Chains A and B, each alone.
Chain A
Amino acid sequence: MSSHSESHYPHDMWVFPDAQSTTQDVARKTASTPGILKLGLAIAGVLAILGVVGFVLRMTSDGFSDYGAWGYYAAIFSYIFVITSSAPLVAVAFRLTKSHWRRPISRISELFALVGVVNVILYIPLIYLLPPINNPNFVPGMHGELQIRKTIWMEVPFGAPHLWDFLGIISLAVLSLIILWVSVVPDLAEARSSANGWRSKLYTLLAGHWYGTKKQWIHQKISLALLGALYFMMVVFVHFLIVSDFAMSLIPGWKDSILPPLYTVTGFQSALSIILIIAFTMRKWGGYEKYFGTSVFWSASKIQIGLTLLWTYHLFAFFITLWYGRMELEQNILRYLMFESYSWIFWLNVIFIFLIPFWILVWNPVRKTAWGPALAGIFILVGNLLFQIRIFVGAFNAGDIYHLGLFRVPPPVFPDVWDVFIVLGGIGLVAFIYLIGTRILPALSVWEVKEGAMYQKMGTLYRGEYLVLAKPE
């Protein structure tokens, strides 16, 4: 029977890693740093230093009083924040839906929690940059001036928005670190005896309590589920806070209820993309092809194309509502952000986030490969950066925020050398910290992959060989 049966999957769709060798293999890969990784670290480090240089020079040349010069800083902060805070969601969300394809990539996504700490640090200058809610120049009776700029904080409760946004970012960073820790403990426990040097000490410190008893496993599962759900809701909430306070309320007259969902979708899309790019890299050059079948990419790419379409849908809803109403102040918002000042960056934005990835991902054979989603992901990441620049540089340079609306359309602000350094530095910083993180913690979630291997096998049905997937409750 088996001689007639044929698997009709592509040969690398499903993988069945052997439990024994997985632990040692992954531990070995974590401990060793091949040359190309060292090169990557070096480049990222150099970019990060460039970024610090740019930041310092910007600080000395403009100070913190004029926030208009810091538009690009806010854009790169937002870019880093939205991607690194959404990245753990890939692990969280698909654990909740019990999707098996998330197993190899869940640690990749959780490792972004380490970068989340950087969010907190990068946020601190923004606290100084955010203008107060009360208008210091308010003159009663002056036309077009508001006493309180438009903001989501109703009666300006204590510390809003600086304190609450900061608390939000800290809590996200802490929560994601806790999720990472809860998830990584079984792997560290397994590796603590075989690791040497500082790794052994670190692993014992982090995972010394773990013995793999049934109770501990159940505890871990419930914690991940609850923390994950909490994290999901917190991420969406903090995204709403950041984009409302740092973008929407700084463009006078911009009242847009779809911007927080649009921003969140952008984050999910880019987070999934960067995870797929890392997964592709690990699979192709990192020697992890035993653990990543192309089924991961095939399932994730459906989510990716769905998010791409969702992004376009939200953007269109924003456009059509404002455009149809023909109200002058709203039309000025459209002119500013889409069609006049930032028009070329807007069209590039649409092409990179929607047109190109859609036409890559719409083909089923491309979705079944590993390079397809990764290639689409690169375009999505560039497009997202353009999106953040458009929104945040636009917001920071929109003129007087205490007016009823944009009475005239401000000109676009182009980056100068320090802005370019800052943007590159941000990207370099993320890459640097992430790569260091992969040296400390295993980049593959060994316990999850082993669990997945337990649940799957190839079975014969009639004349074909198919994957049999166990579905425990």
Chain B
Amino acid sequence: MVSNRIDHKWGMVVDIDKCTGCQACVIACQAENNIPLNTKDTFLQKRVNEWIRIERYWEGEYPNVKARYIPVLCQHCDNAPCEPVCPMYATYHNDQGLNVQVYNRCVGTRYCINNCPYQVRFFNYWHPGWPERLENQLNPDVTVRSRGITEKCTFCVQRLRRAELKVERQSGSRLNDEALEKGNYAPACVHACPTSALTFGDQHDDGAKIRSYFDDVNAHNIHHEHERETRGYRLMEEVNTRPNVIYLKKVDQYPLGKGDGHV
């Protein structure tokens, strides 16, 4: 273990109010992480592999129909239910708050996938293949997973490692929001989002943009959700997974009459 590694705790804030459902994050993630192509066959086989996906829910009756979008990605739970159930220790929680997947240790029992309440883990049923020229666009920093292996969002850990190498070890300064932005070190989805609905940062960094949201959500427990002053909440809090991803409620200008427009 690297002893002089600075203690980060990565987190993400997803602002549903800003999300337009454009799926740029999905494409960026697919490109960055060598995710196999989701073809028509994949959808027909119901085996779509999208480390971040946009879930779309319809509300209301015509003509007052609304579409709700929520990007769902690995929540990197501090209390991850996927971690204790892997027989091979292929998934564990590292010291930066990430839930990491070790591909070469995974035998593909798929218990972790079944135990993920957010359904954000994916299994490679087939050996991945790309049409001939498309192999040139594969990211050399990321493994191409063979079949039989489980995979999921890693918060683009390859970028974070490069960031640590270049920013912290080579130039000695701390990796903060500005450094992440400048070097494109935040996850691909964060950079691709046109409305900046996704924000990434270090929870241990006092000046991080995400910090105020995390502080607020951490200050209140789930039983007083309606007393929160900001829009922040965690997905499926009753399962007590303690995710490192916070969602910000959508503010409905014209609510459909269903409570407070909470997605």
Direct contact between A and B judged by beta carbons closer than 8 A? yes
| In the assembled complex, A16 has its CB within 8 A of some CB on chain B | no
Which of chain B's residues have a CB closer than 8 A to the CB of A329? 238
Instruction: Decide if B129 is an interface residue (CB 8 Å cutoff).
Output: no
A327–B84 touching, CB < 8 Å: no
B224: chain A residues at CB < 8 Å are 143
> B239 — which chain A residues lie within 8 A by C-beta?
327
Is there an interface contact between A327 and B240, defined as CB atoms closer than 8 Å?
yes
Q: Are A327 and B259 in contact (CB under 8 A)?
A: no
Residues of B within 8 A of A327 (CB): 238-240
Which of A324, A326, A407 lies at the interface centre, i.e. has the most chain B CB atoms within 10 A of its CB? A326
Judged by DSSP, the binding face of A is loop
Interface flags for B95-134 (1: CB within 8 Å of A; 0: not) read 0000000000000000000000000000000000000000
Kindly supply a per-residue 1/0 record for chain A positions 127-148, scoring 1 wherever the CB is within 8 Å of any chain B CB and 0 otherwise: 0000000000000010110000
Given A144-B223, A407-B223, do A328 and B240 touch, yes or no (CB 8 Å)? yes
Contact with A along B238-252 (1 / 0, CB 8 A): 111000000000000
Which A residues are in CB contact (< 8 Å) with B226? 143
Query: Which residue of the partner chain B has the closest CB to A408?
Result: B223
Closest beta carbon of chain A to B82's beta carbon, Å: 12
Considering the complex, which residues of chain A in the window 297-330 have a beta carbon less than 8 Å from any beta carbon of chain B?
324-329
**B259 and A141 within 8 A (CB):** yes
A141, A326, A331: the one within 8 Å of B81 (CB): A326
B79 — which chain A residues lie within 8 A by C-beta? 326
Within 8 A of B (CB), among A86-141: 141
Which of these, A141, A143, A324, contacts B225 with CB under 8 Å? A143
For the complex, what is the distance from the CA of A404 to the CA of B224, rounded to whole Å? 13
A324–B84 contact, CB under 8 A? Answer: yes
Cβ–Cβ < 8 Å partners of A143 in chain B: 223-226
Please indicate the chain A residues that have their CB under 8 angstroms from the CB of B222 in the complex.
328
Task: Give residues 367-419 of A contacting B (CB, 8 Å).
Answer: 404, 407
Hey, what's the 0/1 contact readout for A214-241 against B, CB within 8 Å counting as 1?
Answer: 0000000000000000000000000000
- Residue of B at shortest CB range from A253? B238
State the Cβ distance, A194 to closest chain B Cβ, in Å: 70
A325, A328, A331, A404 — which one has the most chain B CB atoms within 10 A of its CB? Answer: A328
A331: chain B residues within 8 A (beta carbon): 240
- Give Cα A57 to B183, complex, Å: 77
Chain B residues near A144 (CB-CB < 8 A):
223
Residues in A with CB closer than 8 Å to B240 are 326-328, 331
**Residues on the A chain within 8 Å of B259, using CB:** 141
Given contacts A143-B225, A143-B226, contact A328 B81 (CB under 8 A): no
Complex Cα–Cα for A237 and B81 (A) = 35
In contact, B84 and A328 (Cβ under 8 angstroms): no
Name the residue of chain A whose CB is nearest to the CB of B80.
Answer: A326
A-binding residues in B (CB < 8 A): 79, 81, 84, 222-226, 238-240, 259
Besides A327-B238, A328-B238, A328-B240, 18 new A-B residue pairs in contact (Cβ under 8 A), listed by A number: A141-B259, A143-B223, A143-B224, A143-B225, A143-B226, A144-B223, A324-B84, A325-B81, A326-B79, A326-B81, A326-B240, A327-B239, A327-B240, A328-B222, A329-B238, A331-B240, A404-B238, A407-B223
Q: Can you pick out 21 interface pairs between chain A and chain B where the beta carbons lie within 8 Å of each other?
A: A141-B259, A143-B223, A143-B224, A143-B225, A143-B226, A144-B223, A324-B84, A325-B81, A326-B79, A326-B81, A326-B240, A327-B238, A327-B239, A327-B240, A328-B222, A328-B238, A328-B240, A329-B238, A331-B240, A404-B238, A407-B223
* Minimum-distance CB pairs A-B, first 4: A328-B240, A327-B240, A407-B223, A143-B226
